[in-house]
């Protein structure tokens, strides 16, 4: 089964389980009248809606590229994640508002034992589903599925905290604890939504992933060939699970077209060895200049004008720059 198919199948289960858990939490709220349990039920509405958006985005992202979408449909995963983050944030705000209202107008909580049991079941199922979705999303490089997993795990953690608060309420019978617990977890939910939204907007705006860039540059330093004088103007753009990598590769100026293409093919092969087939590499070749002789370790060079002095390690700064490297960068 392909990674895309795995993602879609698991997201279907996320949606189905979300609907079942929503029903369980609504039942728990209806028999207890607990605003804290209501917070959990409200977040489950977000789980269902966002799971549906996530399922659609995974289906669309798996479609092959076409004339209208030459880079594929992977960007929709960022949009789905943004919608999910927004809905989570709104749910957190609604929970806080309702909890504050209940602090002013305190209502009695009933049949708490049955409610706690139902919420425990929902929390355990949410945790298991979230862990599986997050792990699969990371393995298959799917932001939409990973976001679903993170959301479900956050929901599970807040549910476990909620259970602790409900047990405290059951033991102490202090009515305002119900609203206090709801406010705390409403804030947690709101912050979770903000983080998911922030990450998705970064993807939509093609914000540089510094950690990924550093990882790629470290790999290139390990596998670099003598005929690669430098790599510069490196950029990575994410389209769902696909990485579009652009860069300029400096090779000896006297290389003919076939030699240059051989070096480009070697670069692509070595990058794919690290990141697999999800990479699309677009390489522009530049000819070297005399100023680069001192950092070029190519032993057999018929056009060398200056002796090799030292190897210049590639860093985030000199690889992202749109300038060919020379020793005056030191």
Confidence band for 330, pLDDT divided at 50, 70 and 90:
very low
Is the model's pLDDT at 329 over the cut of 60? Answer: no
Average pLDDT, the chain: 82
Q: What is the pLDDT of residue 219?
A: 93
Entry pTM: 0.59
In angstroms, the CA 45 to CA 96 distance is 16
In angstroms, the CA 14 to CA 51 distance is 6
Domains of the chain by residue range:
3-204, 210-329
Is the model's pLDDT at 108 over the cut of 50? Answer: yes
Tens-place pLDDT, residues 60-70: 766 776 677 66
Domain 210-329, CATH number (from 3.40.190.10, 3.40.800.10, 3.40.50.720, 3.30.70.1350): 3.30.70.1350
Tens-place pLDDT, residues 278-302: 788 999 999 999 988 989 988 889 9
121 versus 53: which is more confidently predicted? 121
Confidence band for 257, pLDDT divided at 50, 70 and 90:
very high
- Of 109, 96, 89, the C-alpha closest to 46 is 89
Tens-place pLDDT, residues 177-192: 767 777 887 787 788 7
Domain 3-204, CATH number (from 1.10.3720.10, 1.20.1510.10, 1.10.8.640, 2.40.30.170): 1.20.1510.10
Residues sharing a CB contact under 8 Å with residue 293, sequence separation 6 or more, in sequence order: 304, 305, 306, 307, 308
- Of 161, 162, 137, the C-alpha closest to 149 is 137
- Of 245, 228, 255, 254, the C-alpha closest to 324 is 228
């Amino acid at each position: 089964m392909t990674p895309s198919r795995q993602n879609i199948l698991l997201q279907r289960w996320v949606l189905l389980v979300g609907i079942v858990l929503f029903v369980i939490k609504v039942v728990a709220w209806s028999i207890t009248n607990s605003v804290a349990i209501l917070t959990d039920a409200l977040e489950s509405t977000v789980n269902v809606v966002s799971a549906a958006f996530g399922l659609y985005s995974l289906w669309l992202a798996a479609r092959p590229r076409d004339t209208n979408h030459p880079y594929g449909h992977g960007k929709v995963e960022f949009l789905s994640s943004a919608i999910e983050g927004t809905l989570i944030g709104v749910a957190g705000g609604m929970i806080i508002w309702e909890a504050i209202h209940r602090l002013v107008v305190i209502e009695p909580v009933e049949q708490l034992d049955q409610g706690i049991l139902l919420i425990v079941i929902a929390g355990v199922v949410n945790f298991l589903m979230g862990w599986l979705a997050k792990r699969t999303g990371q393995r298959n490089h799917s932001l939409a599925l990973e976001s679903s997993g993170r959301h479900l795990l956050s929901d599970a953690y807040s549910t476990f905290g909620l259970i602790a608060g409900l047990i405290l309420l059951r033991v102490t019978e202090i009515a305002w604890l119900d609203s206090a617990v709801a406010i705390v977890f409403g804030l947690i939910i709101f912050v979770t939504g903000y983080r998911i939204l922030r990450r998705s907007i970064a993807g939509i705006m093609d914000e540089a992933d510094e950690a990924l860039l550093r990882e790629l540059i470290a790999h290139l330093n390990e596998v670099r060939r003598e005929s690669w004088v430098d790599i510069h103007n490196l950029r990575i753009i994410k389209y769902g699970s696909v990485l579009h990598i652009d860069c300029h590769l400096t090779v000896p100026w006297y290389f003919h077209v076939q030699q240059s293409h051989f070096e480009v093919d070697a670069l692509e092969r070595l990058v794919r060895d690290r990141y697999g087939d999800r990479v699309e590499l677009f390489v522009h070749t530049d000819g070297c200049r005399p100023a680069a002789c001192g950092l070029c370790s190519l032993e057999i060079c018929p056009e060398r004008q200056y002796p090799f002095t030292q190897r210049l390690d590639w860093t985030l700064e000199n690889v992202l720059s749109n300038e060919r490297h020379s020793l005056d960068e030191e």
